[in-house]
Amino acid sequence: MLGAWLSSPSRRGEAVAAKSRKKPESVPPSAADLIESLRDFGYTLSTALADLIDNSLAALASKIEIVVDPSFPSPHIAVLDDGLGMDEERLVEAMRMATIGPLAARNTGDLGRFGLGMKTASLSQGRCFTVITKRRGKAEPSIRRWDLEHVRTVNDWELLAEPTPTAEQYLERIHGSKHGTAIIVEQLDRVTFVNLPETMKATALASVLDDVRRHLGMVFHRFIAEDGLIVRLGETAIHGWDPYVTELSTRLPTEQLRLHSLKGNIEITPFVLPHHSRLTDEEHERAAGPYGWNAHQGFYIYRCKRLIVPGTWLNLKLKKEEHLKLARIRVDLPNTMDAEWQLNVMKSHVAAPSALRDDFRRIAADVRRQASDVYRVRGERQAPTQNKPERFVWCRQSTRTGVRYKVDRTHPVLKSLLHAGCDHDRLLSEVVTLIESTLPIASMLQEHPKAIDGSVPNEPPLDIEVLVDVLLHTEQHFIRTGMRPEEARKLVLSSEPFVRFKSEILDRVRSRTNDS
C-alpha cells in the first residue's frame, strides 16, 4: 500500500514539498529606523500639541499647561495636566508603539485612534521625550523615556526609566500633586525657532505661539466653552473660537443620520452666518478663523467633540466659493466609525462614506443655497432671523441675458409712498427707476468682498425711533384703504428691515402710547 501511494506522481510531489518547506521567519523592524520613519507623519508644533492634549482629555484632565521654552542649553516643550495619571504598568503599555490599535473597541469619548499619538506627536518635534505620571493613591510618580540616540545605539525597543536633567524640573510638580502627567520633549530638531539667531528668535517664537493659540482654540473650542476646560500656553489662557458666531447666526434644524445600527448616530447641525454688515470689524475678523473665511466654509467634522476638519465639502465634488463662505455645518461623529470615515493617524482628514454621500450632498445643497442668498441679496443678507422677512427692499429677477436687481414696489413702505394719491406719485416712481438703473453693479463686483456691505462705512445702526415713525405712517396708509389696524401693522412688521427689530419697535410704540 505504501509503495502504491509513493508511486503516485502527485503524492511524491507532496512529500518532496513537505520535506523542503521552511518554517516561517520572524522579521522584526529595525527599532531605530522605524522610529525615524514615524517622525515624518507631517505634524506641525500646533498639531503635535493637539495630539498630546487628546491624551490629557482621555485622562479626564480639567487643566492643561503648555510650556515652550527655547532657551539654551535645554530648549524643550512640556505638556502638564491634572488628569488621572498612570501607574507603572499602564505607563509602560502607553509608551508601546501602537498600544491600542484601530480595530480595538474604545470607551465613549476616547480621542485615540491608532495608539501612536503621544509617541509620534512627541517625536515629531524632538528626539527624546519623557513621561512623568502619578496616579491617585501612589506615593511616587512613574517615569519612562524614549531616547532615539539610545535606541540607535542598542538597536532595540528599550525604554529608559530615568528623567533627563531638564525633565527633573517637572518631577517635583507631579510628585507634589495628587495625580497628573507631564510630557517633556527635548532635543528639538524640528522646531523652527530653536536654531535661529537671537535677533530673529523672538519674532519667530511669537509667530509660532500665535499659531498654537489659534489652532488649539479652534480644535478644542467645545471643551473650553462647554466643559470649562482650561488650557494655558505659558501664563496665557487659550480662548475657544466659535466658528458659528452662535449668538448672531441662524441655526437650522439638527438632523440625525445612521450608518450602521450598532455604531451610533451622526448628528448634523447647519448654521448660516450673518453678512458682514451685521458684524463689527472685530467680530468679522474673529469669525474668519485661523485660515480665513473661504477656507472655513463647509462641514466641520467633530469626533467626540474634538474638531478634526475645520471646514470641508468632503469628497462631494463641491467647490469652496466666495458666495458660500457663510455656510458652516457641524457634524458630530462617535469614535465607532473611524474606519468608515477613513480617519488618518494625525486625525486631520476624513471622507464621507459612500452610503451617506447623498444625504450630505442634499444637506450641503440646502445650506449653500441659503448662505448664497444671505451673501448675494441686500435684503436677505441683512437677515437671517427666526422671523424671515416676507418682503425685501431689493428683489432678484432672472432674465434671458442674466440677473438684475429691482426695488420691490410691493414693499409696504414703498407701496404707501408710491400710491399716496399726491402730485408727486409719478415723480417718486421715476426716482426709484433712476436708482435701479444706476446701481453700480460693475464697480461693486470689483471691490474687495469685505467692502461690499451695502452701507456707508462707519454708518450708525438703524434708528429705532425712525423705524417707528415709518411704521406708523405706513400702517395709516393701509388703514385708510380699508385694512384692519392689526393687519396693517402685521404687514409692515413682516417686511425688511422691521422684522429684525420687531420687539424693539413694539416696545417703543407702547411707550409712546403710554406717554400720551
How far is Cα 61 from Cα 179, in angstroms, rounded to an integer? 10
Angle (deg, nearest 10), helices 464-480 and 502-515: 80
Question: In a 10 Å sphere around its CB, with 0-12 CB exposed, 13-18 middle and 19+ buried, how is residue 43 labelled?
Answer: buried
Q: Are 32 and 198 in contact (CB under 8 A)?
A: no
pLDDT digit string, tens, across residues 250-304: 999 999 998 876 567 899 999 999 988 888 889 999 999 999 999 999 999 999 8
pLDDT of residue 497: 83
pLDDT of residue 269: 96
Least confident stretch, 77-91, 93-107, 299-313, 488-502: 93-107
pLDDT digit string, tens, across residues 127-173: 999 999 999 889 899 999 999 999 999 988 899 999 999 999 999 99
In this structure, which topology does domain 250-376 adopt according to CATH? Ribosomal Protein S5; domain 2 (3.30.230)
**Region 31-237: CATH code:** 3.30.565.10
Judged against a pLDDT cut of 70, whether residue 104 lies above it is answered with: no
CA 422 from centre of chain: 57
Report DSSP state, residue 160: B
pTM, rounded to two decimals: 0.68
CA separation (Å) from 487 to 43, 122, 274, 391? 62, 68, 30, 15
DSSP-based three-state secondary structure for 410 = coil
Domain pair 31-237 / 250-376, same fold: no
pLDDT band at 41 (very low <50, low <70, confident <90, very high): confident
**Direct distance between the N- and C-terminal alpha carbons of the chain, in angstroms, rounded to an integer:** 123
Q: Where do we find the cell 467692502?
A: 451
Residues 50-56: what's their mean pLDDT? 95
Q: Are 171 and 143 in contact (CB under 8 A)?
A: yes
Q: Are 128 and 146 in contact (CB under 8 A)?
A: yes
Instruction: Kindly report the backbone phi and psi dihedral angles of residue 403, in degrees, each rounded to the nearest multiple of 5, phi listed first.
Output: -130, 140
How far is Cα 218 from Cα 65, in angstroms, rounded to an integer? 17
How far is Cα 308 from Cα 313, in angstroms, rounded to an integer? 14
Q: Are 115 and 101 in contact (CB under 8 A)?
A: yes
C-alpha cell at 474: 405706513
C-alpha cell at 397: 429677477
Report DSSP state, residue 290: T
Quick one: which of 182, 191, 197, 130 has its CA closest to 161?
130
Question: In a 10 Å sphere around its CB, with 0-12 CB exposed, 13-18 middle and 19+ buried, how is residue 286 labelled?
Answer: middle
Domain boundaries in the chain?
Answer: 31-237, 250-376, 394-515
